[in-house]
Amino acid sequence: MIFLDLPSIHISSLTLYSVLYLEGAMSAAASSSATPSAAQVLSLFRSLLRAAREFPDYNIREYTKRRTIDSFRHNATLSDPSQISTAFAHGKSQLAVVKRQAVVYSLYDSPLRSVMELQQVPF
């Protein structure tokens, strides 16, 4: 018998994604700072990937990683300093959201694990 790994939590994935988007958009619009250096950008990238590890749920964890990588790759072509600053501010706000959401998800962690997390497939 196979049990589907459905997250038994009060906050749905859709809520998380909308929160991520809205909070990030608001804080990015509110803040304007100097153009970040390459080292700062890489540090933010590393921090986001580290924060993504904290999600107990496999799907959310992988989504956050994939979304982080895709976003940084997409913004790697930016050359306008104001756009870079906005993207960086947005990333910093996303980091704060991810950290908070990881804590919330850990409070409602399910004992069931995704089949994707199995080291050896039994069949």
Partner 1 sequence: MATNALAGTSLSMRSLLPQTQAFTSISGLRSASISSFGRKNVSFSLQPRSIRLKISCAAKPETVEKVCKIVKKQLAMPETDVVTGESKFATLGADSLDTVEIVMALEEAFGIAIEEDSAQSIATVQDAADLIEEIVQKSS
Q: How many CB atoms lie within 10 A of CB 94?
A: 24
Q: Which is nearer to partner 1, 9 or 102 (CB)?
A: 102
Q: Which is nearer to partner 1, 25 or 42 (CB)?
A: 42
Question: Smallest gap, in angstroms, from Cβ of residue 49 to partner 1?
Answer: 5
Question: Smallest gap, in angstroms, from Cβ of residue 84 to partner 1?
Answer: 15
Question: Smallest gap, in angstroms, from Cβ of residue 54 to partner 1?
Answer: 13
Look at residue 3 and give its three-state secondary structure: coil
Question: Smallest gap, in angstroms, from Cβ of residue 42 to partner 1?
Answer: 6
**Sign of the Cα pseudo-torsion (74, 80, 83, 87, in order):** positive
Q: Which is nearer to partner 1, 6 or 79 (CB)?
A: 79
d(CA 91, CA 24): 7
| Inter-residue contact 97 to 54 (CB < 8 Å) | no
Give contact residues for partner 1 (rule: CB under 8 A): 38-39, 42-43, 45-46, 49-50, 53, 69, 72-73, 76
| Exposed/middle/buried for residue 62 (C-beta within 10 Å: 0-12, 13-18, 19+) | middle
Q: Which is nearer to partner 1, 69 or 78 (CB)?
A: 69
Residue 109 tokens read as 């962690």
